[in-house]
């Protein structure tokens, strides 16, 4: 993408990571030129360990040799640094910004663990519990969307914003789990607003291009499930 001027921008990540997708979507929306450095699952490069010595995980944005870690911190950093490029990702109103941050934290604290809990669940009972937690989280996000969007197509209004990126980066995995488990997480009867939002998000030329193909995610999920099942139980 164009628009980063003379600054050097690199992103350490992996194609299937929704957290990395958040950073990529933000960079692309802001028209920032960057180099994507692919990390291999199961390994950590020397550059990653050097750039994120605390958590040792992706994504890491490296801007003029300075590393920025944690996906939503990266999204906000991108919005603040490239102010004049692309649409604003955070709302202009202070209270609205606080709401967006609150629900982004909720997504990571409640929805994401439930979503991937379905894959890691050791029993069918645990899997069913994770499913119910994911559905309950989406129901709350449905209600939040109705209030925050103010009748617009996105949480951010007419354009994709901070909170859209927080949840939208997981749409590929949502579809993958729906296909694997034979049920709908985003149901038009129960979450019509989020269903319409998800379609708008995926149809966006910039954001939709970052979401991995469902078939590839399903293949990866099956490999990950097999590893979880073969791993020795935790003490």
- CATH code for the domain of 162: 1.20.1050.10
Residue that finishes a domain, picked among 81, 108, 128: 81
Residue 235 counted as domain residue: no
197 and 118 in one domain?
A: yes
Per-residue pLDDT of 97-153, as tens digits, reads 999 999 999 999 999 999 999 998 989 999 999 999 999 999 999 999 999 999 999
What is the share, in percent, of the chain residues with pLDDT greater than 70?
95
Residue that finishes a domain, picked among 81, 105, 139: 81
- CATH code for the domain of 68: 3.40.30.10
205 and 157 in one domain?
A: yes
Does the pLDDT value for residue 224 go beyond 70?
Answer: yes
Does the pLDDT value for residue 176 go beyond 70?
Answer: yes
184 and 69 in one domain?
A: no
Per-residue pLDDT of 2-42, as tens digits, reads 344 447 999 999 999 999 999 999 999 999 999 999 999 88
36 and 149 in one domain?
A: no
Residue 58 counted as domain residue: yes
Residue 88 counted as domain residue: no
d(CA 186, CA 195): 6
Note down the domain range covering 74.
Answer: 9-81
Per-residue pLDDT of 135-148, as tens digits, reads 999 999 999 999 99
Residues 107-124 as b or e (16 or more Cβ within 10 Å = b): beebbbebbbbbbebeee
- At 228 the pLDDT is 76
202 and 123 in one domain?
A: yes
158 and 218 in one domain?
A: yes
Bridging pattern class, strands 60-63 and 9-13? antiparallel
- At 3 the pLDDT is 40
Higher pLDDT, 228 or 90: 90
55 and 136 in one domain?
A: no
Residue that finishes a domain, picked among 50, 81, 112: 81
217 and 107 in one domain?
A: yes
d(CA 189, CA 139): 11
Domain count, the chain: 2
């Amino acid at each position: 993408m164009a628009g980063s001027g003379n600054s050097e921008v690199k992103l350490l990540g992996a194609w299937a990571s929704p957290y990395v997708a958040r950073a990529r979507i933000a960079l692309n929306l802001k028209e920032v030129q960057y180099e994507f450095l692919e990390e291999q699952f199961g390994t950590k490069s020397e550059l990653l360990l050097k750039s994120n010595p605390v958590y040792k995980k992706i994504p890491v944005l490296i801007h003029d040799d300075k590393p920025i870690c944690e996906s939503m911190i990266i999204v906000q950093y991108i919005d603040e640094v490239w102010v004049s490029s692309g649409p604003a990702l955070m709302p202009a109103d202070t209270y609205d910004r606080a709401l967006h941050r609150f629900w982004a934290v909720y997504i990571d604290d409640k929805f994401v663990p439930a979503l991937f809990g379905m894959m890691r669940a050791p029993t069918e009972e645990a899997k069913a519990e994770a499913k119910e937690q994911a559905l309950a989280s989406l129901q709350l996000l449905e209600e939040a969307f109705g209030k925050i969007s103010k009748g617009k197509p996105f949480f951010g209004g007419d354009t994709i914003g901070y909170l859209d990126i927080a949840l939208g980066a997981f749409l590929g995995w949502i579809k993958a789990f729906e296909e694997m488990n034979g049920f709908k997480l985003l149901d038009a009867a129960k979450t019509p607003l989020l269903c319409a939002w998800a379609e708008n998000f995926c149809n966006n030329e910039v954001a939709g291009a970052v979401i991995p193909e469902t078939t590839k995610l399903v293949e990866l999920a099956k490999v990950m499930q097999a590893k979880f099942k073969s791993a020795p139980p935790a003490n």
